[in-house]
């Protein structure tokens, strides 16, 4: 039985309310990096999972790739479809769960982007990697991108207590109090949101294995070459903001 430790409420209205603008600003350069690291010809097939509101899937489709996007949020999928319509691109959008990917071979690439891994207990997280492998043809590329665990660790107060991360959108506030359990390899976030004067609180726990541990998990899931890079596509360093793992299906 899988244990879900980042619940669906994290990706409700507050998600795009606070992250929408930031995501829009970084999407073009992220898609450049994806295209460069995937190294695929025009017309190649790409699975973007979970695809959220389709900011990456729609841009990849606009560049001539055949794209499928899957996400559990009906609202985000609806937004993705309507943006695809506005852009005049065609993407197959599916509502579904990461743990039950209905794909068997065929894709040239699987993209898992913007801290979209680690939402479950680690046995389940590792099963997801096997699901990504099953979706790929041999030689297909997996790109998995997430916040740097080292950056988070370096932001933790030296003498204990949480790192406080504040996001502001006009008068609205999101305050994340983040701690890290090194033994479990998980960050724990207590999130306080103030929107329109209304305060809400939630919590979540994200698995953040080290780059080398994640590479080991990915190899064990059926990938051969595994590279650990950063947001520029160079080998990841302790000071990198993001970790990008590039792996080739065996």
Ligand X SMILES: C[S@@+](CC[C@H](N)C(=O)[O-])C[C@H]1O[C@@H](n2cnc3c(N)ncnc32)[C@H](O)[C@@H]1O
Rule CB under 6 A: is residue 50 a binding residue for ligand X?
yes
Rule CB under 6 A: is residue 97 a binding residue for ligand X?
yes
The residue within the footprint of ligand X, chosen from 5, 34, 76, 109 (CB under 6 A), is: 76
153 — phi, psi (to 5°)? -60, -40
Site string for ligand X, 110-149 (x = CB under 6 A): ---xxxx--x------------------------------
Residue 228: which residues within 8 A CB-CB, separation 6 or more? 211, 212, 214, 215, 235, 236, 243, 244, 245
Min dist. Cβ of residue 76 to ligand X (A): 5
Q: Among residues 55 and 149, whose Cβ is nearest to ligand X?
A: 55
Rule CB under 6 A: is residue 163 a binding residue for ligand X?
no
Rule CB under 6 A: is residue 52 a binding residue for ligand X?
yes
Radius of gyration of the chain (CA): 18
Q: Among residues 1 and 182, whose Cβ is nearest to ligand X?
A: 1
Min dist. Cβ of residue 157 to ligand X (A): 26
Using the contact rule CB under 6 A, the part of the chain among 31-39, 52-60, 131-139, 209-217 near ligand X is: 52-60
The residue within the footprint of ligand X, chosen from 72, 81, 126, 177 (CB under 6 A), is: 72
55 — phi, psi (to 5°)? -65, -35
Could you say which residues in the range 201-240 bind ligand X, by CB under 6 A?
none
Hey, what are 16's tokens? 């795009």
Residue 55: which residues within 8 A CB-CB, separation 6 or more? 23, 24, 27, 83
The residue within the footprint of ligand X, chosen from 11, 93, 180, 217 (CB under 6 A), is: 11
DSSP letter string over 67-132? EEEEES-HHHHHHHHHHHHHHT--EEEEE--GGG----S-EEEEEE-SS-S--B-HHHHHHHHHHH
87 — phi, psi (to 5°)? -85, -10
Q: Among residues 52 and 140, whose Cβ is nearest to ligand X?
A: 52
Q: Among residues 73 and 228, whose Cβ is nearest to ligand X?
A: 73
From the list 208, 214, 211, the residue with the least C-alpha distance to 179 is 208
Contacts with ligand X by CB under 6 A lie at 11, 23, 50-52, 55-56, 71-73, 76, 97-98, 113-116, 119
């Amino acid at each position: 039985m899988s244990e879900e430790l980042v619940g669906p409420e994290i990706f409700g209205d507050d998600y795009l309310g606070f992250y929408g603008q930031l995501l829009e600003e970084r999407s073009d350069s992220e898609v450049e990096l994806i295209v460069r690291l995937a190294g695929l010809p025009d017309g190649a097939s790409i699975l973007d999972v979970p695809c959220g509101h389709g900011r990456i899937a729609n841009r990849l489709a606009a560049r001539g790739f055949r794209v499928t996007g899957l996400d559990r949020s009906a609202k985000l999928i609806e937004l993705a479809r309507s943006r695809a319509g506005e852009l005049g691109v065609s993407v197959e959008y599916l509502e579904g769960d990461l743990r039950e990917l209905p794909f068997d071979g065929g894709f040239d690439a699987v993209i898992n982007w913007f801290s979209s891994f680690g939402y479950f207990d680690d046995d389940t997280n590792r099963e997801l990697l096997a699901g990504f492998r099953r979706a790929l043809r041999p030689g297909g590329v997996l790109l998995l991108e997430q916040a740097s665990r080292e950056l988070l660790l370096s932001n933790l107060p030296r003498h204990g207590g949480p790192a406080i991360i504040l996001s502001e959108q006009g008068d609205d506030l999101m305050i994340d109090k983040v701690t890290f359990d090194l033994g479990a390899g998980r960050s724990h976030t207590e999130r306080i949101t103030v929107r329109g004067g209304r305060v809400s609180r939630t919590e979540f726990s994200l698995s953040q294995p080290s780059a080398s541990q994640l590479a080991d998990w990915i190899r064990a899931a059926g990938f051969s070459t595994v590279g650990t890079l950063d947001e520029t596509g160079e080998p990841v360093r302790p000071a990198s903001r993001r970790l990008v793992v590039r792996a080739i299906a065996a």
